[in-house]
Amino acid sequence: MDKNKTKYDSGVNIMGSIPDYNVMLDYVSDTYGVTDGSAGAFQFRTEKSLKRFVSAIEACILKFRNDTHQQMFFEAIADKEFSFSERLIILFWQLTYSNCLFSLITREVFMKAVYSGRITIMADEVLAFLRYVKETNPGELQWSDDTLKISASKYLTIMKKLGLAEGTTRKTIQHPVITQRLFVYFVRFAITVCPDSPTLDNPYMVFSFSERQTIISRLKKIENIPYWDITQIGNDIKIDIKKQS
């Protein structure tokens, strides 16, 4: 193993600088996915800038557990029955898998604020957490404090562009509407990327924006019979995803 290899990178900084996530998703779908359209709208002033952002997309978004995960993601962002805001939530879930630093901040800072009932979040909170990670993880985030500040700010910029935060210095947390189709996608996503944990203890369930009992109630709805079988195990539920034809 490469001793110099680090778990966390600065992809958050570049992702936060991409101006239009709708155009970006179309570009990803056209270039790597299942659609065949013009990616001309994804333009930058210089070829160097374009290469930088394309590299960030490949490094920060296009990482998959397996072929099923990859197919799910590409089909979802190409599906025009998903609204733009729904596609942004799909991108959010993808980032929780594909970028370790984004996932860590979201789990330990943003989602904790959500579940504690808070309505705002500030870059200073993210910065304090990044400093903690740097201090407690030797070799990680070996950046200047100015770069850490940029990362904290860019993280919240990403959340704003994903529709999960609003405002300037003090961001208001936005709770997304998890529609039936999004819920089905999310459950399949969580079990696909973490198949060894097909229960509510799956580490990705924290990104559902739903309390445990709400998830259980939705899992049991009759309209979800085509998508999974569930087995009650004490206070937990085992989820067996059905293959989709």
Query: How many residues does the structure list for the chain?
Result: 245
Question: For 242, which DSSP code?
Answer: P
Threshold 0.85, pTM exceeds: yes
Same domain, yes or no: 25 and 132: yes
Domain that holds residue 195: 180-241
The verdict on residue 56 lying in a domain is: yes
**Which range is most confident: 15-24, 27-36, 144-153?**
144-153
110: which residues sit within 8 A by CB, 6+ positions away?
121, 159, 164, 173
Same domain, 168 and 203: no
H or E, element range at 94: helix 84-98
Q: Are residues 56 and 112 in the same domain?
A: yes
Going from the C-alpha of 182 to that of each of 85, 88, 121, the distances in angstroms are 11, 11, 25
2 pLDDT band (50/70/90 cuts)? very low
**Residue 1 domain-assigned?**
no
Q: Rounded to an integer, what distance in angstroms lies between the CA atom of residue 75 and that of residue 71?
A: 6
| 55 shares its domain with 167 | yes
What pLDDT band is residue 46 in, cutting at 50, 70 and 90?
Answer: low
* Residue at a domain's end among 118, 139, 173: 173
Domain presence at residue 211:
yes
pLDDT grade for 206, boundaries at 50, 70 and 90: very high
pLDDT level of residue 45 (50, 70, 90 thresholds): low
Task: Judge whether 3 lies within some domain.
Answer: no
Whether residues 86 and 145 share a domain: the answer is: yes
Does one domain contain both 29 and 52?
Answer: yes
Number of structural domains found in the chain: 2
Last residue of a domain, one of 114, 145, 173: 173
| 112, β-bridge pairs | none
Encoded amino acid at 208, one letter = S
Domain stops at, among 173, 189, 222: 173
* Judgement on whether residues 62 and 164 belong to the same structural domain of the protein: yes
